[in-house]
Structure 1
């Protein structure tokens, strides 16, 4: 019986909500979910590795990727480009693996238009106060940039209704368990499996 295609899972939410931390914890759980590395023009933070955390690109390199239609989605956020390389995602899904994208809200809505069958999860903070404390705790942004991020976050939270699921990141381990439950349930949906099991009837 032919293996079913993989599933595209999109995890997004405001900057500072903990998308990267949750994705890292999810990978450490030993699931078969493949992580799609995004490309960005922002500078690497301490400890980040090119090709692992992000593909770090110059503005010129990134714009060539846009012109060549080599991105599943892309967005400009606080003066930097972010985007998802297309080839890896398509090849991995065809092999039957689920792929998770950890992307900004603008990018998630682009992906939804292109892949409406994807699973879209909004990672929400317990409160805006908590979100600000998390961003300040990084120690990597100026007050002006933090204020800018908070204004953007308020607009992004208004877009929650565009998603299939909302997961509050109160504690990382709880958020991971909720996401795993969503993925398990989605992989059992009849519209993802019916063609695969019709083949059993045809063979017999």
Structure 2
């Protein structure tokens, strides 16, 4: 897929936890789409094995506020008191200069907000399962979360699924191969359109 003719287009993926979003995005990258994850900036401290510049660009609150003042973010929000997340413009310039398209892996509200900002230059894709029971089975089979944590994720997923209609495309991931094909066609049409 030639990248020289690429216009400045953006791809946004949002989904409830356990919907298979990351798996689908990685498959699209394997299939040769010129995509690269946009690395967000945050004012929170790294967790676990998170690396600066890979998982996030970690900034002090002071540095983050300075970048806001200098208009260096395409968008930003204060998710919790004193904890801000944003998309640095420099990150998008870097991705475009490599002949790739930025892909955003965002929560539902962030995805909708970014779509509003970028308009028709962005494709907002919502990945979901057909119903909450499928999600519950996946989260239980993952065996990485406590029962309480699973219930919290399911409650959040129901809330997030209520926003699906605000996205350009909803892809139902009940069968991974079908979701791959639908995503492949959707991205092909958007990038070449």
For normalisation by structure 2, the TM-score amounts to 0.75
**2:185 aligned residue (172, 181, 184):** 181
Deviation, 1:105, is 0.4
Name the CA shift for 1:114/1:131 in 2 (closer, same or farther; >3 Å). Answer: same
Taking the TM superposition and a 5 Å limit, the aligned residue runs for 1:78-157 are 83-93=86-96, 96-117=99-120, 118-157=122-161
State how far apart, in whole Å, the 1-side matches of 2:141 and 2:41 are: 24
For normalisation by structure 1, the TM-score amounts to 0.71
- 2:14–2:108 CA contact under 8 A, matched in 1: yes
Listed one character per residue, the Cα deviations across residues 71-90 of structure 1 (whole Å, up to 9, x for unaligned) are 4445638xx86554432124
State how far apart, in whole Å, the 2-side matches of 1:172 and 1:103 are: 21
Listed one character per residue, the Cα deviations across residues 78-103 of structure 1 (whole Å, up to 9, x for unaligned) are xx865544321244346653221111
Name the CA shift for 1:142/1:97 in 2 (closer, same or farther; >3 Å). Answer: same
Number of aligned residues: 181
State how far apart, in whole Å, the 1-side matches of 2:51 and 2:7 are: 30
Of the structure 1 ranges 93-102 and 123-132, higher mean CA displacement relative to structure 2 is found in 93-102
Secondary structure of the 1:116 match is helix
Which residue of the partner structure matches residue 64 of structure 2? Answer: 65
Which residue of the partner structure matches residue 198 of structure 1? Answer: none
RMSD of Structure 2 on Structure 1 (CA): 3.1
Tell me, yes or no, if structure 1 residue 12 matches structure 2 residue 14. yes
Name the CA shift for 1:120/1:50 in 2 (closer, same or farther; >3 Å). Answer: same
5+ residue gaps, structure 1, are 190-204
5+ residue gaps, structure 2, are none
State how far apart, in whole Å, the 2-side matches of 1:177 and 1:133 are: 23
Deviation, 1:51, is 4.3
Deviation, 1:136, is 3.0
Which residue of the partner structure matches residue 21 of structure 1? Answer: 23
Name the CA shift for 1:74/1:128 in 2 (closer, same or farther; >3 Å). Answer: farther
State how far apart, in whole Å, the 2-side matches of 1:142 and 1:82 are: 27
Structure ID, larger Rg: 1
